[in-house]
């Protein structure tokens, strides 16, 4: 058993309490490799932001559980070395079984998500409760989900979203004793969230997707005031980066993500954790493709992963400062 406390990590309790009270959200950035992790830590230290390092089960298999745990330990030491101590959580994203959650808790994670949102309400309650009872013995935080997001999560593909039913949240939170709740109000996973045809154009000609269902969020908040709420599927899919990818040999579809103003609005509520994975993938791919196209003679990975890391860092800093409002909160 390796406790996250021995690695210098934090659970999410204090982070969420402060974020709900302060009207900002903690960034939860997914990572699978060293350059992404370096960029996240550099950005969060430079902006003095708390951060959740987020690992999906697929990412854990890809990168190796032991390596990831030690990378998270290294992240804590690296942040200190960079000159500013920030709270860092290591979180399992979309855990689908008790066994996986337990394995993560036993191996240094300070927070886990048990995502039984595809099951019935009763099954979701039962599985979440089981994970919570185990996790809380070790002071590990647990996130659960009510409602289903469209898009791809690991091996699960949901064609359509099912919005969270506000009438269910109170009973769910009470019965499970969970620490935070992911909800479905119109965000979706992956790089292909909305097609241009699903959007309207504003006065400046910018494509605007259907707005998030803030009415549902408000209804949820009325029933569980101040309870920590999580937004998944919150990448903004920057059009300029997609254009760089496609101008340099890529073939990504035209797609529109979640507008940053809507995320900013959400941070003013009890939404205190915002999940971003796809934007990191897009920015990294754009930077690598550009080097490959501009300097086809390069073959040293540092020459293309280095620029990708720099671009990622700038993107994360921008999110912390201008979208999530987490800058200066560590």
* 189 counts as binding ligand G3H under rule CB under 6 A: yes
Near ligand 13P by CB under 6 A, which window of 59-67, 166-174, 269-277, 321-329? 269-277
* 69 counts as binding ligand G3H under rule CB under 6 A: no
From residue 98, how far is each of 130, 142, 192, 298 by CA, in Å? Answer: 7, 12, 30, 45
Cα–Cα distance, 112 to 109 (Å, whole number): 7
Q: List the one residue from 46, 103, 106, 154 that touches ligand G3H (CB under 6 A).
A: 154
**Which x/- pattern, by CB under 5 A, does the window 214-253 give for Zn ion?**
------------------x---------------------
Q: Which partner in Zn ion, ligand 13P, ligand G3H, none is near 234 (CB below 5 to 8 A by kind)?
A: ligand 13P
Least distance in angstroms from the C-beta of 297 to ligand 13P: 33
Q: List the one residue from 185, 263, 277, 285 that touches ligand 13P (CB under 6 A).
A: 277
Near ligand 13P by CB under 6 A, which window of 19-27, 84-92, 196-204, 271-279? 271-279
Cα–Cα distance, 224 to 213 (Å, whole number): 17
Is 84 within 8 Å of 51 (Cβ atoms)? no
Helix, strand, coil share of the chain (percent; to 5) = 50, 20, 35
Which class for 197: exposed (0-12), middle (13-18), buried (19 or more C-beta within 10 A)?
exposed
Is 123 within 8 Å of 116 (Cβ atoms)? yes
* 277 counts as binding ligand G3H under rule CB under 6 A: yes
Radius of gyration of the chain (CA): 19
* 282 counts as binding ligand G3H under rule CB under 6 A: no
Cα–Cα distance, 16 to 247 (Å, whole number): 40
Give the residue numbers marked as catalytic. 93
Interacting residues toward ligand G3H by CB under 6 A? 30, 56, 58-59, 93-94, 153-154, 189, 277
Interacting residues toward ligand 13P by CB under 6 A? 30, 93-94, 189-190, 232-235, 275-279
């Amino acid at each position: 058993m390796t406790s996250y406390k021995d690695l210098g990590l934090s659970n999410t309790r204090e982070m969420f309490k402060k974020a709900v009270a302060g009207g900002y959200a903690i960034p939860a950035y997914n990572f699978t490799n060293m350059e992404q992790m370096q960029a996240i830590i550099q950005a969060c230290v430079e902006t003095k932001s708390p951060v959740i390092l987020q690992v999906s089960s697929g990412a854990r298999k890809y990168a190796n559980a032991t390596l990831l745990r030690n990378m998270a330990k290294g992240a804590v030491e690296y942040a200190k070395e960079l000159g500013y101590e920030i709270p860092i959580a290591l979180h399992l994203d979309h855990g689908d079984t008790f066994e996986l959650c337990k394995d993560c808790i036993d191996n240094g994670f300070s927070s886990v998500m048990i995502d039984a949102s595809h099951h019935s309400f009763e099954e979701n309650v039962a599985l979440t409760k089981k994970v919570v009872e185990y996790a809380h013995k070790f002071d590990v935080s647990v996130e659960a989900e009510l409602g289903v997001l469209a898009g791809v999560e690991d091996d699960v593909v949901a064609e359509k979203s099912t919005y969270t039913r506000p009438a269910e949240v109170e009973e769910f939170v009470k019965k499970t004793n969970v620490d935070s709740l992911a909800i479905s109000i119109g965000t979706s996973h992956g790089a292909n969230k909305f097609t241009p045809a699903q959007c309207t154009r504003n006065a400046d000609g910018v494509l605007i997707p259907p707005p998030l269902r803030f009415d549902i969020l408000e209804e949820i908040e009325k029933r569980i005031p101040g309870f920590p709420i999580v937004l998944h599927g919150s990448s903004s899919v920057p059009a300029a980066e997609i254009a760089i990818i496609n101008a340099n040999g890529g073939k990504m579809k035209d797609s529109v993500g979640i507008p940053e103003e809507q995320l900013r609005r959400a941070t003013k509520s009890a939404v205190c954790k915002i999940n971003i994975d796809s934007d990191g993938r897009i920015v990294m791919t754009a930077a690598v493709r550009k080097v490959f196209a501009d300097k086809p003679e390069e073959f040293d990975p540092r020459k293309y992963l280095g620029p990708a890391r720099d671009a990622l860092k700038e993107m994360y800093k921008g999110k912390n400062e201008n979208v999530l409002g987490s800058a200066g909160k560590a």
